Amino acid sequence: MAPKFVAIILLFLPLLANIVNAQEPTIFDITKYGAKPNADISQALTTAWKEACLSNTSSRIVIPPGTWSLSQADLAGPNKSPIELQVQGTLKAPVGQLPNKDGNWITINYVNNLEISGGGVFDGQGTEAWKQNDCHKNKKCVKLPLNLSFNFINNTYIHDVTTKDSKNFHVNCISSHNVKFQRFTISAPGDSPNTDGIHLGRDSNITVIDSIIQTGDDCVSIGDESTEIHIENVTCGPGHGISVGSLGSNTAEKDVVGIYVKNCTFLSTMNGVRVKTWPSAPAHLQVKDLHFEDIIMDNVSYPIIIDQEYCPHNLCNLKDPSFVKISNVFIKNIRGTSHYPEAVTMVCSRTNPCENVEIADVDLTYSGNLGPTTTKCANVKPTLVGKLNPPICANMTGAQSS
């Protein structure tokens, strides 16, 4: 080999070494910080997290295989470099009250370039707490903790982990941008109260894909000021379906724009896809550009719902209409079975009727003995396309076929 060529190689070797080293994250194994199986690892995890946040190179916090007790964790940024939280084992929450009773179990705030992975489990151990949940009838009920609370996180990838049996919502993702949940499993019994899968609010560019969500409440719920939310190839059930709302109860609420639910399957859920807004409520906002497409409903109680008279437990009155404006709604290729005769419900606001609603190729059947498959419509004149079973909005005039 020519001496000149050898010299060039030697010149570039340090640069190549730096490139290789830059690709390998610094490992922060919690066992190096005193963590032991079946003992509280809160301090070890918090210390490892703080050191990782100060690292000038990418870092990986490792929770090895095994069962680990975690009383509570409040993990905050900012972080200097990307952080991966690799959960290989099972984390168990306290059965009873957390040390900070007003907090959630695991909270992660103000982080950029976060990854959560590892195939592990976040077990909220909520069975006993569910028995004490009386929030459906008691407005002063005890606040129960969420499994995972994400706030102000950006450019985040959460994948190949499970959250189960949360005492309250499984995941809260608030004021965050560019977050992706993939191969994300959520598991709780169908009768577990308020165990929503993923709740989103004031977010942008959120993706939930290739995931299984089984809960006692909404699989995914979408709050106000949410834009570009993509839910695709998700199996939901048991649960209450995928919901936009409820909206309208607070004057500070802002518009919801760009919701895409595609290639999803609903199994014996209470609802399929749903939009819900409060009547007699003060907020004026818009909900627009909603796309519900290529969806299978399997024994779903109420497959398609727009409900602008949402009033659970009769905690409101219907004297005044909803001031939320719903427009640009596209419902396409929905097929399967309905548990009850009323397969499609679109009850819009009488002062702000729904506009530019298109329904195409819907085939929903009901095989029970309570009568034929029906739809219910008010204050909406949808454009109807393709095969529609049952006939959509047959109870009113003004629907447009094409």
Q: What is the DSSP letter of 392?
A: T
Tokens of 208: 């939930």
Distance (Å, rounded) from C-alpha 191 to C-alpha 340? 20
Tokens of 305: 């719902």
209 in Cβ contact with 180 (< 8 Å): yes
What are the CA-CA distances from residue 191 to residues 133, 195, 215, 304 (Å)?
12, 9, 8, 22
Distance (Å, rounded) from C-alpha 363 to C-alpha 389? 5
User: Could you give phi then psi for residue 317, rounded to 5 degrees?
Assistant: -125, 160
Residues that are catalytic? 240
Tokens of 103: 């907090």
Residue length, the chain? Answer: 402
Kind plus residue range of the DSSP H or E element containing 357: strand 355-365
Residue partners of 62: CB distance under 8 A and separation at least 6: 27, 28, 29, 30, 86, 88, 118
In 3D space, the residue among 301, 299, 291 whose CA is nearest the CA of residue 360 turns out to be 291
Distance (Å, rounded) from C-alpha 353 to C-alpha 342? 21
264 three-state secondary structure:
coil
184 in Cβ contact with 209 (< 8 Å): no
Distance (Å, rounded) from C-alpha 243 to C-alpha 264? 13
**Beta-bridge mates of residue 8:** none
Kind plus residue range of the DSSP H or E element containing 51: helix 42-54
Tokens of 17: 């070494």
Report the 10 Å Cβ neighbour count for 345: 18
